[in-house]
Structure 1
Amino acid sequence: MDELEEALLGVSALIESTVAINRDRYSADRLVTTLTGPYRRVLDTAERMIAGARRSIDIVHARRLQEEDRAERAERGLLGRTDPSVQVRLLCSPELIDEGFVSEQVDLPDPVDIRVARVPPLQAILVDRESALVVTGVAANRRAAVIWVPEVIHTLQILFDNVWRGALPAADRIVFGDRARAAFARQILAALRAGVTDEVAARDLAISVRTYRRYVAEIMTLLGANSRFQAGVRAAELGLLPLTRPGSGSGAAPGSG
């Protein structure tokens, strides 16, 4: 995923440099409109773009909002105004997936197609492969613009499509149970990725080696992995492990013995 992250960061840099270097020319041609002021202006613009879509809406939701931004309006509500004939794809980072929204889509006749992948902190809406609303940065450093620059839109769309193909459908994600059990499973996955021996991992987790191996077998089955190393790699690809390599903390397993 490192190459993917670098590519996404590169696109973000491309957007910012394109807007900064050519702001006057693009603004004169109405190819870039910078959005300043409160976050509601961003949401108002997103609402208009979504409502005006004719064929497709592709969304990247990987930028954590500030408290005051979240209080403005629920972004998920904006998608309720789309025409049923418009294809909607939503790409989320694992940390920002909205479980309630995913559940709501399951039984709808025209559900939003939601997938999960690791992406840098970025918000973007691409409409009809012709325009994009892009938001980067946080708080006072937030930068937002509506872009119609063809080369930027083309680059964003290609990258979105490439990430989308390798992303995991939200409804198919691995579910490990309650929060405590999920946290414990991530500790085991981190140990598998790091190649820690069963004895060391079991000691760090304060469980028996037999119990540890039982958990490993269950997790490998859930991940469809043929080896422990593959399970660790697969978990990282699916966003089940943090980007930074975790320490070997300790903790009691639910139902261990």
Structure 2
Amino acid sequence: MLDALDPDSAQGQVYRALVSSPRSRVAELAARTGLAGDAVRASLAELSAEGAVLVVDPQAEVWDAQSPAEVTEALLQREAARRVGVRRTGIELERLFRTARQDSGSYPALEVVEGGERILATLQRLQSGARRSVRGIDRPPYYGSTGYYADQEVIQRERMAAGIAYHFLYYESACSDPVVGPNMARMIEAGEQARTLAEPPMKLHIGDEDLAVVTLETEDRSDFVALVVRPSALLTTLCQVFDTLWKLAVPVSVADTGAEIDRRDRGILVLMASGATDEAIARRLDLSRRTVVRRVAALLEQLGATNRFQAGVQAARRGWL
């Protein structure tokens, strides 16, 4: 359903055409959007499956849009439900961890590792053993020293040079952390794919689909303990949790670290977030359309966004709107 709100996608163009021109035929939608008839039909099928449009006359191929307010509310409810599911999984995992710590022999796929140094060594083994990818969630409190992040950069650069893909999800304030922020920027520049999320539920590292490490603070918060998870239903669940969080998160680029925008770009972002077209933005701000197009492209790159919707979310999180 997110594509229905993205003006840059085929589905978004078809949906907007139906919003402004109710009860349109496929041929009419193709003429308005510039898409081929088959592309329009494919977009309508996807939008219909998501409940964003409905067919009025199947024989004549006449379609209409559902209310944008209802479509937006359904999207927000769906994302809220996914967040609830992720938090529930985190709670169950915490219970399982506590049980495993009391009796680690009760579940062969689990191993408890205590102490920061042993945990860091375990994480390095996870990366060294990965054959395809390393996925991770890095959130406060940060237990690594400056020396740890220097060592991490070395092994990560080596593994990425060997073709290992790194996908990391960060707490949204990581950019302002004096140690984590610069490290994150350097790794992104070196090829890491990074995203941010307001409330990631756990510290997590996953090597391929073979090994996962969940890190938690001890009860008295004086040290850390880790739950090492080997192939099992639990490991599969952790991989699914990461993939769900990754879809909810906002992409990060090197330009995100400490970047600011001027008054003109803030005005463009505000109008973009309200759904204004490039032409409308140009008229409102007394700019040429070419300038608006160029600044919109630059803002998308600066925010690490692939479409206007993501740009609005990222800009709002950074307090630019």
TM-score normalised according to structure 2 size:
0.50
In the superposition, relative to structure 1, how do residues 77 and 51 fare at CA in structure 2: closer, same or farther (>3 Å)?
same
Quick one: distance in 1 between partners of 2:260 and 2:162? 41
Determine which structure has more spread, i.e. the larger CA radius of gyration. 2
Three-state SS of the structure 2 residue aligned to 1:180 is coil
Residue segments in structure 1 that go unaligned for 5+ positions in a row:
106-112, 196-208, 225-229, 249-257
Alignment pair present for 1:116 and 2:195: yes
In the superposition, relative to structure 1, how do residues 9 and 178 fare at CA in structure 2: closer, same or farther (>3 Å)?
closer
Q: 1:128 aligns with which of 200, 208, 215?
A: 208
Aligned to 1:100: 186
Three-state SS of the structure 1 residue aligned to 2:206 is strand
Report how far residue 84 of structure 1 moved. Answer: 5.8
Aligned to 1:27: 105
Q: 1:69 aligns with which of 141, 144, 148?
A: 144
Aligned to 1:90: 167
Aligned to 1:10: 88
Give the letter aligned to residue 131 of structure 1.
Answer: L
Quick one: distance in 2 between partners of 1:223 and 1:7? 30
Give the letter aligned to residue 124 of structure 1.
Answer: L
Quick one: distance in 1 between partners of 2:110 and 2:207? 15
The percentage of aligned residue pairs carrying the same residue is: 15
1:65-115 Cα offsets, whole Å, 9 max, x none, are 44x63334113333245386663332222543611122123xxxxxxx413
Does the CA-based 8 Å contact 1:223-1:235 persist in structure 2?
yes
TM-score normalised according to structure 1 size:
0.60
In the superposition, relative to structure 1, how do residues 5 and 216 fare at CA in structure 2: closer, same or farther (>3 Å)?
farther
Aligned to 1:151: 233
Q: What's the RMSD between the two structures over aligned residues? A: 4.4
Highest relative contact order (Cα 8 Å, sep 6+), 1 or 2?
A: 1
Aligned to 2:21: none
Q: 1:58 aligns with which of 116, 119, 134?
A: 134
Residue segments in structure 2 that go unaligned for 5+ positions in a row:
1-78, 175-180, 275-283, 302-306
Give the letter aligned to residue 45 of structure 1.
Answer: T
Alignment pair present for 1:241 and 2:321: no
Question: How many pairs were matched up?
Answer: 215
